[in-house]
Amino acid sequence: MEYVQTVLARIAANKFDEASGPGGLLAALEAHRDVASAQSGYRGMDITRSANPEGDVLVVAETHWANNNALADYSTRQPNVEGIFNEHADELVPGSLQTHRMQSDKAGQEAPTRAYDRLALALFVPLGVLAFALLVIYALSRIYLTLPGEWATPLAAGVALGVLGIAWYFASHPYVPRWQIAGLAVVVLGTLAIAGTAAAVYDEQNKEVKTVESPTAAPAPGTTPAAPGAPEIDMGDNFFQDASGQKNPTISISAGQETTINLNNKGQAIHNMHVANASGQYTQSICKVGGAEFCSDPAQVTAGKSAKLVVKFDQPGTYDYRCDFHFDQMKGKLEVK
Ligand SMILES: [Cu+2]
C-alpha cells in the first residue's frame, strides 16, 4: 500500500510563461523534490502537466508516501506542494486548485519491479551489449576470413546500410514494442550465428584439404615428377647449383647403378643437362631424350619447370656434363665411384 497526495491546478494560458520561467510554479515544484525526499516515509514525487499546446495547462504534483502517517505529517508541514501552489496562486486559474489524499495498491509490486529495473540497467544491459558486440565482431571476422577479398567492400557496405536502416527505423518509431526489438535481435544474431558457423566450418574443411594435399602435392602440369632421394640440382642463369649452394658442383653417383638427378629451372632462360659420353664428347649440340648421350627429360627446360636426368655408367671415373644452351658457363663433373 502506498499513500499519495495529489495536488492539481490549472495554469492560466497567459500565465504559463511566467509559471514555467525561473521562480515560477514549475521551477519551485522541481526544487521541492529535495525538501520532500528528506522527510521520512518519502517514496517519490511526480510532476506532470497536460500536453495541450494552447489554453490552460493542468499541472498535477504527486508525492508518494510509505504510510498514512507520513502523508499526514507532510500535509500539515510547510513547505509542501499545496503550499507552493498557494504561493503561486496568481499564476493559476482562480478556484482550480484541488488537493486529494489517495492510496494506491501498486506499492507492493512496484518496489521489486524498480529493484529489477535498476539491476537490469546497471548489469544486464551493458553485459548484453558487450556480448552482442563481441558476437557480431567474431562472426563478421569469420565471414571475412572465408570470403574472397573482392566481397569485403560489398559486405561492409551491406552491414553499414543495415545498421543505418535499423537506426532509422527505431529513430522514426520511438515507441517500438518490445517484441519487435526482441525479434530484430533474434534475426540479426541468428543470421550472424549461422553465417559465422558456416564460415568457420568451411574454413576448417579447407584447412584439412590443404594439410592433406601438401605432403603429396601433385606436380604442376608440364613438369616431371621428382624421384625421391635423388640428387637435386637447381639451374639458374647461368649455373648449376646443388642443395648446399655449390655452383656447377661435382655430382657423385655409384657405378653400375641407374641414378635419377632432379633438375629445377629456377632461372628465366631455357636450360638442360647433357652428359658427355665416356670419351668426353658431346655428339649432339642439343641432346635428345633417348639419344646418343644422357639427356635431361625434357631436353629443353623452360623457366620454373622441372626435369629429370637418368644416368648410368658402369665404369668408375669422372664424366663431363653441361647445359647445351650455356656450355661455357654451365658445366661440371659427374664423379662415378
Ligand atoms: Cu643453361
Least confident of 122-131, 155-164, 173-182, 285-294: 173-182
**Ligand 1: distance of its center to the CA of 300 in Å?**
9
C-alpha cell, 176:
517500438
Average pLDDT, the chain: 85
**Ligand 1: distance of its center to the CA of 258 in Å?**
24
CA 294 to chain centre: 59
Angle 149-197-154 (CA atoms, 0-180°, nearest 5)? 30
Query: Where do runs of H (alpha helix) occur along 147-252?
Result: 152-172, 178-213
For 245-266, write each residue's pLDDT tens digit: 999 999 999 999 999 999 999 9
For 69-119, write each residue's pLDDT tens digit: 999 999 998 889 999 999 999 999 999 999 998 887 764 555 555 666 677
Q: What is the pLDDT of residue 252?
A: 92
For 199-213, write each residue's pLDDT tens digit: 878 777 665 554 444
Q: What is the pLDDT of residue 114?
A: 64
DSSP 92: B
Q: What is the pLDDT of residue 161?
A: 92
Beta-strand relationship, 232-236 and 42-49? unpaired
**Ligand 1: distance of its center to the CA of 309 in Å?**
15
Beta-strand relationship, 57-65 and 239-242? unpaired
**Ligand 1: distance of its center to the CA of 18 in Å?**
102
For 13-69, write each residue's pLDDT tens digit: 889 889 989 999 999 999 999 999 988 899 999 999 888 767 889 999 999 999 889
- Residues 168, 173, 179, 181, CA torsion sign: positive
